[in-house]
A and B are shown apart, each in its own frame.
Chain A
């Protein structure tokens, strides 16, 4: 067997060797494969040879006997090696051919001597056969031999053998197929090893040939001679989209389907026997009847019946079904795509308050001395003095840097408004109380300034009595003790004065007398000529506050809901600002004159950009309660609002010269320092003219300076 294998292998190898000789240079592949074959062959041959030789040498007796038996068998086999037809019936020498070929001959073959074997004389016909079948008890074991043409009767043993083979059993009766197996190699460690051969050297030396082979493979891969197996792509359409031809809109509609909203389930209200708290009281019933059918919470009145039998038919049934159908038909139902936006992204990027310094941050000084709520404060244009008017009937003058009260003037009435003349070359203070506007000369300035202000007051033209205003405004000079106190002029108005403001030049001042019924609400006074005039001939609403434009001849009048801007030269209205608030409380004009802020009693602060529109550019709702006062800083981009909630909010408001750029408004600080008194907090707020400081006066009779 081994020799045969060897032969086969040799046979295989031969052409490869020839190949190698033929084209050694061009076909590396063949060289490689040839080497591979030869290597493995030689090794196996050697191995098997060694195994057998050594194995036969060292073995114990039992094994030897077995081996000998095997060897003897092998020898017998070797004797008949070329005679594979020993079991053949060789009486007929025609071989294994279809016997039909001898059908027409009298013989059916030749015997070993070359003599014809004649067919037996067939005298048996079908009838004989049948009779034979019926009568011959041996018939079932008679077999017709086609090669000899004779019938053979099988012996009992033969029949038995046939039966056994048919059943799939071994032919040999004595063969026990269920003999217990003697395991030659088992997991048990035996005392005596099966082979006591020392381990081969090659088992612990890395194989050189393997290495060579691998390196050749690697080289071949590197050179690109061997390519990895290509992965077949499935792009030939093994799979296909079943729904490709489907209309996507239909699918989308299915996906976006929204079921109709369900009718709410009936509750206790609908019950025929509701708990008593669900039944309407008389008031509720009256209310229900009063209400518009659309506003009613329930479309019916809950009723109580003693039994289900007595419940009448629901009269509203048809109507209700109709309404429902109408709802389903008319109300479009569609899924709203909600945009997933981080709410913080929507907040505009505002600069940090830290970058917007300076602005007031802490309460530095408290000016104490008043005994009533301080309605109004005003800082002198130099920034050295602060004037305050209070409900205790006094006007006080404070030194700003030390909070010392330098002067107290008793004016004998709750002071509504104080205003320092903005002209730095005069030192005058206008005070509004009851129906009088007082002009005070506090003599807190250089002597030249005091002189010039005295001169301004005394430079009146005699005999030129104001004809306008029906003589209702009376100018009079102060006398006696009042003169010592600093009082200079009294301007008597027909009605209670609420506010007094100066024009930037310091010669004109305007006063407000809020009155809804008359057109006599605003007076403009000229100090040097002691004239007063009422600029408006018609009542446009309750005037809340007024202001002069800081540069141009405009005049701002705030009524309850709107601010009107009048051109004083042309004597006409130029603009009307809609504040969208219910009741304006205060107003301030930007020193540039193009912006107005206005506070209102409904907690709002509106910023108007006069160049932009008549609607507020920005509404700030930072205060919890009514805004009482607003103020702009003269130099710094700051504005402040004071409110009844006891806080002053300072905002940064940069205004750009560029018309395209809108003002930048950033709230920077909430200042608290006043104690809430009688539900009132901060009443007035004003900025220092040169420093980023803010003053606030409160209902707790103090004034605070925040720096």
Chain B
């Protein structure tokens, strides 16, 4: 969070600036902001004025970032997909900002393509076999479906955006992985299928422009449950066929197979410690080294859950921490250096936990079958609905 979008308002007619968002460094203090305004007003009136700034009715006295942290103002948005066929965007305080509705079936996975700036790009994958690429204008709070990615023949269970934000990969129940372009364009990809009657009808109802996959990676013998990008060339996928496979996106070939003994529910990769964490249909979280060629070596098992581990996620800024969610209603924070017991049990959910995530600022998120999204702050152990 280096840059912050800001607008400046004043009731004094002399100092009015254009009502457009400006991108300013988060570390800037009152003097820096004054300089910005003065720079903007330079043309209008030459003399320099020292401004004071009110942020949500509070005077700004420290740097913007610390002020936001202390006042709990955030620009981080949380995206959730739900079995009610919609995706929602939330602020970290738990205020719903937007409901993204458009799928005809359950939303299985969501992902941000781009969060900076006023227009964000987001993806939703659904049981209706499509992935929708949305454009969300946070300023006007408008959401628009830009592309409808068709090609899967089963429910799309997982999507992942590559580190550059130009491509994304989707995994589906039809055992396929597909790589798509994540860049919105105004042109529709050609569909080679012969247009028969019901197709036409669907097309008219369809949201956004149709997009076809850049590449299809096939090799799994069962449904793909989780997919992620190790780096911009490598895709890692976990499947119900008890394997984790690593694919080369450039060539479309498979590089490595890690074989487990149980169905994989989820995987997570940490570039800091270069480990894969996997959750299976048993009680264990397993850590793998994706670079080993011979495959099936589990580095470490973390066992404390009593149900299936449905979600794991490495901390984005910590090499040893990961958070896991399970069917036993618990979210656990782990440190891989203490593999015997978790650091914290986060018991907030009243039903199965289905997803966990971290924000850049270190907040932990979890969503579950009790229709609630919880955020946890690590140091204070404060949970809010």
Contacts and interface: CB of A to CB of B under 8 A. Distances in A.
B307 A448 contact: no
Contact of A402 (B198, B263, B352): B352
Interface in A326-377: 357-358, 364-365
Interface string B188-230: 0000000000100000000000000000000000110000000
Nearest to A693: B281
Nearest to B280: A707
Nearest to B173: A384
Nearest to A444: B127
Interface in B103-135: 106, 129
A496 to B, nearest CB: 36
B223 A364 contact: no
A446 B128 CA distance: 8
A690 B240 CA distance: 9
Interface-central residue, B154, B198, B281, B282, by most chain A CB under 10 Å: B281
A382 interface: yes
Given A404-B83, A404-B369, A364 B354 contact: no
B261 interface: yes
Contacts of B238: none
A384 B224 CA distance: 12
Contacts of A403: 352
B155 interface: yes
Contacts of B282: 707
B29 interface: no
B83 A364 contact: no
A383 B261 CA distance: 18
Contacts of A707: 262, 281-282, 308
A446 B176 CA distance: 14
A453 interface: no
Contacts of B106: 406
B154 A446 contact: yes
A691 interface: yes
A358 B307 CA distance: 17
B284 to A, nearest CB: 12
Contacts of A357: 261
B327 interface: yes
A522 B223 CA distance: 38
A446 B222 contact: no
B248 interface: no
A326 B327 CA distance: 76
Contact of B327 (A365, A383, A404): A365
Interface in B292-343: 307-308, 327
Contact of A384 (B129, B223, B352, B369): B223
A691 B354 contact: no
A691 B153 contact: no
B352 A358 contact: no
B154 to A, nearest CB: 6
Nearest to A404: B83
Nearest to B174: A446
Given A358-B261, A364-B308, A446 B223 contact: no
Interface-central residue, A365, A402, A404, A448, by most chain B CB under 10 Å: A402
A364 B352 CA distance: 11
Interface in B147-174: 153-155, 173-174
Contacts of A384: 154-155, 173, 223
A447 B152 CA distance: 11
A129 B155 CA distance: 165
Given A365-B327, A402-B369, A691 B173 contact: no
Nearest to A707: B281
Contacts of A358: 261-262
Nearest to A384: B173
Contacts of B129: 446-447
Given A364-B281, A365-B327, A384-B173, A402 B354 contact: yes
A691 B155 CA distance: 19
Contacts of A691: 240, 263, 281
Nearest to A451: B198
Interface in A382-410: 382-384, 401-404, 406
A702 B262 CA distance: 25
A358 B198 CA distance: 44
B183 to A, nearest CB: 27
B108 to A, nearest CB: 10
A451 B153 CA distance: 13
A401 B154 CA distance: 15
A364 B173 contact: no
Nearest to A448: B153
A401 B307 CA distance: 12
Contacts of B263: 691
Given A384-B173, A446-B174, A364 B240 contact: no
B203 to A, nearest CB: 13
Interface in A229-246: none
A434 B155 CA distance: 35
8 contacts: A358-B261, A382-B173, A384-B154, A402-B352, A404-B83, A446-B129, A451-B198, A691-B240
Given A384-B173, A446-B174, 5 more contacts: A358-B261, A382-B154, A383-B223, A446-B154, A690-B222
The 6 closest A-B pairs by CB, nearest first: A446-B153, A707-B281, A364-B308, A404-B83, A384-B173, A691-B263
Interface of A: 357-358, 364-365, 382-384, 401-404, 406, 446-448, 451, 690-691, 707
